[in-house]
């Protein structure tokens, strides 16, 4: 019986400490990354994409929905239009071996987007670009191609995070 009381007190103290930590963090303004809410003008956006199947496009759509936006299929029903005019990944050779075989590549992911309201430009075109380099070995070709895919997906997630941060800080003229 004494062991049960001690264990109950420890559990109660742990729960109390967790609530105290949560209260302290919320009191200082702490929020999880990506938990900012979108402004009201982006409640029902129309997302204009050249290619809806890129890593950036899929992640951007997911993050908009996660932030509470209801994406519209028709531009006329939307509160604003988010237009992605550029979504491109480029690969460049950084170095080659003595046999003229690439040994290092650089991936650059570039995105340009803008936000248009019903009668005004809410956010002028924003170009965001990230670059990462990786080594290349011909004898582990599949692994290196997989590494490039992972880098591209991570850069797309990072670009979406930056774009969402800019959208949450959007000031409307109303």
Whether the CB-CB separation of 87 and 58 falls below 8 Å is answered with no
Total domains in the fold of the chain: 2
Whether the CB-CB separation of 129 and 109 falls below 8 Å is answered with yes
Q: Dihedrals φ, ψ of 171, to 5°?
A: -105, 130
Residue 109 lies in a domain: yes
Residue 173 lies in a domain: no
pLDDT in tens, the chain (174 residues): 555 454 556 665 566 566 666 666 555 555 455 456 888 899 999 999 999 999 999 999 999 999 999 999 999 999 999 999 999 999 998 888 888 888 898 999 999 999 999 889 999 999 999 999 988 777 777 777 888 899 999 999 999 999 999 999 987 654
173 φψ region: left (φ > 0), alpha (ψ -120 to 50), beta (else): alpha
pTM of the model: 0.74
Rounded distance between C-alpha atoms, residue 158 and residue 140, angstroms = 27
Residue 174 lies in a domain: no
Rounded distance between C-alpha atoms, residue 27 and residue 46, angstroms = 35
Looking at the structure, do residues 100 and 149 belong to the same domain, yes or no? yes
| Domain extent for 96 | 38-168
Residue 144 lies in a domain: yes
Looking at the structure, do residues 24 and 100 belong to the same domain, yes or no? no
Looking at the structure, do residues 55 and 112 belong to the same domain, yes or no? yes
Looking at the structure, do residues 45 and 26 belong to the same domain, yes or no? no
Looking at the structure, do residues 3 and 59 belong to the same domain, yes or no? no
């Amino acid at each position: 019986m004494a062991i049960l009381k001690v264990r109950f007190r420890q559990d109660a103290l742990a729960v109390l400490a967790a609530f105290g930590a949560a209260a302290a963090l919320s009191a200082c303004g702490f929020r999880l990354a990506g938990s900012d809410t979108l402004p009201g003008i982006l409640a029902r956006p129309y997302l204009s994409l050249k290619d809806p199947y890129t890593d950036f496009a899929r992640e951007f759509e997911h993050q908009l929905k996660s932030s509470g936006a209801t994406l519209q299929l028709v531009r006329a029903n939307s509160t604003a239009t988010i237009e992605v005019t550029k979504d491109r990944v480029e690969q460049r050779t950084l170095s080659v071996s003595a046999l003229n075989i690439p040994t290092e590549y650089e991936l650059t992911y570039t995105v340009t987007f803008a936000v248009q309201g019903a009668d005004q430009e809410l956010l002028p075109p924003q170009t965001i670009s990230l670059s990462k380099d990786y080594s290349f070995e011909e004898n582990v070709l599949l692994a290196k191609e997989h590494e490039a895919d992972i880098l591209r997906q991570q850069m797309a997630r990072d670009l979406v995070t930056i774009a969402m941060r800019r959208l949450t800080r959007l000031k409307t003229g109303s």
